[in-house]
Structure 1
């Protein structure tokens, strides 16, 4: 037997209330800004508070004898900044510049460097409660550079720790 129109109406109202409850956002909930990007075909995130600007890739000047973790240096309005070869540090396939490639200028504790990424996919505010600080499920070398994981576009994305990245460069 088919449900009556009253039953259909009640079911629709119930479904609508459930959807509304699922999409309620607590405006007082603490948030953190994250930059989602890809390197070597894999998604990653960094705290947005450490990112000063995102640039199209211009000319990167290589410096002989510098660590293979650096692509070289760039000139940004008269300031010379190093450019980190993050894909090499993460053990991903090598960085190849494309029209979507960017350099994210990161700053932490007064140290400023460019980070070459395949693409910047989004910069959004995420509820702090959604961050998972467990990194045991990540493979090395990503695990040692991550401070957690976060869900983004139906994927679990490693949240990289800029302090850990910088410690590998010293």
Structure 2
């Protein structure tokens, strides 16, 4: 399969307003002046589904969104390291990010659910890594004032709070509000679990 045809590049993400992420070509980018004003007021995030939780990563931290490639397991590594894969000629570690974030999945996925999976390549200061997500949901425009901090004592969010910038509320299906956990990429990629295998 030609990976280039199955990738969503940053240049495509930057042309999208709110709405499901999809392959769009031929759209003009916003002019520089309006883009600068928008960037001063908002940050763009990609919302994804992990189990029953919605989390989001900043667009500027995302190298690519791909169909899940062939992953080669590496014996002797922890179960959250799914293996390695070849992305445009580079060997990339692939991680089950749900286990790092403490998100439990209680049941086996259906074939349809597996078909919806994507791999997000996150780029940090020191290295990049691939995370498997259950599906890509939306492109969010998030203002700093709309982020609600998560307390380390906040019940089921206590563990994930160490990797989060906070919560953002987006309008989901049928007009219902959904809380999205905004992930701090550097905090996530700085964890001992990931650093020791890079």
Q: Moved runs in structure 1, 4+ residues, more than 6 A?
A: none
Unaligned runs of 5+ in 1: 1-26
SS of residue in 2 equivalent to 1:89: helix
Superposed CA offset, 1:19-39 (max 9, x none): xxxxxxxx6661101010011
- Pick aligned residue for 1:48 from 44, 49, 59: 59
Which one has the largest radius of gyration?
1
Give the number of equivalent residue pairs: 143
User: Following TM superposition, by how much is the alpha carbon of 1:50 offset from its aligned partner in structure 2, in angstroms?
Assistant: 0.3
1:139–1:125 distance in 2 versus 1, CA, 3 Å = closer
Q: Quick one: which of 127, 137, 144 aligns to 2:162?
A: 144
- Say whether residues 1:83 and 2:102 are aligned partners: no
Which of residues 130, 140, 164 is equivalent to 1:124? 140
Deviates more, 1:30-39 or 1:147-156: 147-156
* Structure 1 Cα separation of the partners of residues 80 and 61 of structure 2: 20
Task: Give the Cα–Cα distance (whole angstroms) in 1 for the partners of residues 70 and 187 of structure 2.
Answer: 27
For residues 90-105 of structure 1, what are the structure 2 equivalents within 5 Å? Answer: 90-94=101-105, 96=109, 98-105=114-121
Between 30-39 and 84-93, report the one with greater CA deviation: 84-93
**Alignment RMSD (CA, Å):** 1.9
TM alignment of 1:107-122, pairs within 5 A: 107-122=123-138
Q: TM-score, normalised by structure 2?
A: 0.66
Q: Aligned with 2:70: secondary structure? A: coil
> How far apart are the structure 1 equivalents of 2:158 and 2:73?
28
- Output one character per residue of 1:31-59: Cα deviation in whole Å (capped at 9) or x when no partner: 10101001112111111110011000021
TM-score for both structures, normalised by structure 1: 0.76
Report whether the alignment pairs 1:159 with 2:182.
yes
The match for 1:66 is 77
Unaligned runs of 5+ in 2: 1-36, 172-176
